[in-house]
Amino acid sequence: MSAGVQRIALGVAYRGTAYRGWQSQPGGGTVQDALEAALGRFADVPVSVVCAGRTDAGVHAFNQVVHLDSPVQREPFSWLRGTNRYLPRDIGLQWCQPVPEDFHARFAATGRRYRYLLLESALRPALETGQVGWIFRPLDGPAMRAAAAHLIGEHDFSSFRSAECQARSPVKTLRGIAIQSRGEPGSRYWRFDFDGSAFLHHMVRNIMGCLVAVGSGRQPPDWLLAVLAARHRDAAAPTFAADGLYFAGADYDARYGIPTHTPAMDWFP
């Protein structure tokens, strides 16, 4: 990194409904395009960013972590207020942290976290449309937890991998799946928190499809063992909706001082 260049990390929250995903594409329309344009207007120089985890069209983020190398010096608070001024209302910087040049939003991450929010109701969502998944059948929490337990640990997750996945290996370590609900059966919200070393393309949404199949009684909990062992996408349930999926953040060495929490994490159930 050349003299005078400052590496900074930023936390970005966004509602992905209106975007073609995170990664910049010809024709624009992505979260990365909007963020880089806003940063460039504030810094008055072209800016490119690297993210911790790319998200698909319709997927949201509480705490996407990005880094950039800026030739201009600004205070952290100025980066936040100045850039947010140029961002659309459904994208916003949450924090700014100067970091050493060995920090890399993607390669320095030791883990990543996702959250899926699901409405169990006979009626489709209205106010929450685009922000939660939906299932009209009652769900069995203990059955889903029993099924999820089969996925914890290091496994070949080929059965939960999309055909477009570019990961070199399907072997990942899933450290935890926490499942909780709020409300009464037939009218409640479910929260699924996934913690892993890394995730394959569509992995969380494909796991969600299987957990919902178990929770609704269409499959027994031990079915997940057979799905995992098959190592083939056809063995699993269909990919679940993107609407309720949120990138919750990435884990880093404590010396970098990267925040792990943003206000929206408390606003959602």
In a domain, 230, yes or no: yes
Domain hosting residue 227, numbered range: 111-246
Are 43 and 72 found together in one domain?
A: yes
Are 125 and 207 found together in one domain?
A: yes
In a domain, 237, yes or no: yes
- This prediction has a pTM of 0.95
- CA separation for the pair 55, 16 (Å, rounded): 9
Are 190 and 233 contacting, i.e. CB atoms less than 8 angstroms apart? no
For 136-159, the pLDDT digits (tens) are 999 999 999 999 999 999 999 999
- Strand ranges, E, within the chain: 6-14, 50-51, 60-70, 91-98, 111-121, 133-135, 153-156, 171-184, 187-196, 245-251
Alpha-carbon torsion (130, 132, 133, 134), positive or negative: negative
In a domain, 130, yes or no: yes
Instruction: Give CA separation, 100 vs 29, 71, 75, 83, in Å.
Output: 31, 14, 16, 22
In a domain, 257, yes or no: no
For 157-166, the pLDDT digits (tens) are 999 999 888 8
DSSP 71: S
For 101-148, the pLDDT digits (tens) are 999 999 999 999 999 999 999 999 999 999 999 999 999 999 999 999
The CATH number of whichever domain residue 55 belongs to comes to 3.30.70.580
Judge whether 156 counts as a catalytic residue: no
Catalytic entry in 33, 44, 56, 193: 56
The CATH number of whichever domain residue 209 belongs to comes to 3.30.70.660
Are 91 and 29 contacting, i.e. CB atoms less than 8 angstroms apart? no
